[in-house]
Amino acid sequence: MSGYNPYDNVLAVIDNAAKLLGYTQQEYEQIKFPEREMKVSVPVRMDDGSVKVFEGFRIQHSTLRGPAKGGIRFHPDVDVNEVKALAAWMTFKCAVIGIPYGGAKGGIAVDPYKLSKTELKNLTRRYTFMIAPVIGPETDIPAPDVGSNAEVMGWIMDSYSMLMGYSAPGVVTGKPIGLGGSLGRGDATGRGVTITTQNLLGKLGMKLEGASVAVQGMGNVGSVSARLISEAGGKIVAVSDVSGGIYDPEGLNFKEILAHVSARKLLDSYETKAKRIGNQELLCLPVDVLIPAALENQINIDNVDKIRAKVIVEGANGPTTVEAGEALNKRGVHVAPDILANAGGVAVSYFEWVQNLQSFYWSEEEVNSKLQVLMDNAFKSVWETAEERKVSLRTAAYVIAVKKVVEALSLRGGIWP
């Protein structure tokens, strides 16, 4: 899949949804292009006294429905096309679940695990300084993503606040609780994946209890999804991270695995009698539910014929290419798309932002209850649209999202000035 451009994926699904909606090219042409793309250099003084310059981005795809919203990714493979695609997916994700945000994304091409804590903090603060002109509580609100976390959000919040001269907790979400973070935010994306899995299985006459589940990726999304699914009675039979995976058709002891990965240890150092497998092998296991929760382009035209899962719930952003998605749909494999399935994170980010603006905070039970309602309603809309139009769940989700974004453009009076 060399030369693969994830933004081509975005354009293909936009065109397809717009065609189904009967839009002319001029009605939706604007949303095929990001509103703003910022590329920045991020110089950092390393612990040995040397200076290293990293490449960073902040891209705002759309602000038609509200302030831009999207995470910041620290990963060696970050590039402009990946960030563009992630920003657009955020626009449609927010539209699908009905929260008043547009989409954005940021990233730095760096391996954060090769930096000391001081170097990572310096990188984060300098990056915040460079993108400060385009972010803010009313304009663009970053959040954690691959390679970043609540601590990093705290550094961004502090750096931005120092620049502004006043405390601005609403500039980021996914912060530590002590800085205005929301209860329930840490589990939110994984909880949304779990809710979507339950909803989809329910529609198919299947139960989560006893269902075999494979999870690719043991970051926040994958590990929380696996934990919550396990607690709900699902049988976790395979998990993996960058070091590889483990598989036991009888079920894994996920509590032990979670304790291991929570200590920032890779699975290749986990002692087990379970079978050692690779990430590609995990994707092809004969399971009831497959949750790709790693990076983009994992299920593609090269391996789609080997996929044996009955149901796929996308925990990662863009884990399935357009061609692979079409092939799975033809085979009758139900795929809960990323812009629906992993929207729990941005949903609770929205709740956090609202709490910051009001300076009034909710209990974790209240947050989880509101998330359940939001995810259930979004799934219902997507499922009904798919049934009505006789299309895949992915196409249905984009039909809903593109319609909302184009309607916002029209209601605002079109292009100005």
Query: Is 265 in contact with 192 (CB distance < 8 Å)?
Result: no
Cα angle 115, 77, 300 (rounded to 5 degrees) comes to 140
CA–CA separation, 192 vs 372, rounded Å? 8
Place of tokens 């502090």: 158
- Residue 352 contacts by C-beta under 8 Å, 6 or more apart in sequence? 173, 174, 175, 180, 181, 182, 185
* Catalytic machinery residues: 105
Residue intervals of the chain classified under CATH 3.40.50.720 are 188-336
DSSP 5-26: -HHHHHHHHHHHHHHHHT--HH
At the fourth CATH level, which superfamily is domain 188-336?
Answer: NAD(P)-binding Rossmann-like Domain (3.40.50.720)
pLDDT digits (tens, 9 = 90+) for 269-318: 999 999 999 999 999 999 999 999 998 889 999 999 999 999 999 999 88
CA–CA separation, 66 vs 151, rounded Å? 26
SS3 content of the chain, % helix, strand, coil (to 5): 50, 20, 35
Give me the long-range contacts of 326-335 (CB less than 8 A, separation at least 24): 327/301, 328/299, 328/304, 329/392, 329/394, 333/307, 333/309, 334/200, 334/204, 334/310, 334/393, 335/311, 335/392, 335/393, 335/394
pLDDT at 4: 73
Q: Which residues of the chain carry a pLDDT beneath 70?
A: 1-3
CA–CA separation, 351 vs 10, rounded Å? 27
Give the amino acid at 241: D
Question: Cα dist. 242→226, 252, 293 in Å?
Answer: 17, 19, 12
pLDDT at 264: 83
Residue intervals of the chain classified under CATH 3.40.50.10860 are 34-168
CA–CA separation, 51 vs 183, rounded Å? 38
Query: Is 364 in contact with 177 (CB distance < 8 Å)?
Result: no
Angle between helices 364-389 and 188-203 (to 10 degrees): 40
Query: Radius of gyration (Cα) for the chain, nearest Å?
Result: 20
CA–CA separation, 267 vs 261, rounded Å? 7
CA–CA separation, 99 vs 351, rounded Å? 10
CATH entry, 34-168, from 3.40.50.10860, 3.40.50.720, 3.40.50.150, 3.40.50.300: 3.40.50.10860
Query: Is 214 in contact with 282 (CB distance < 8 Å)?
Result: yes
pLDDT at 3: 65
pLDDT at 2: 54
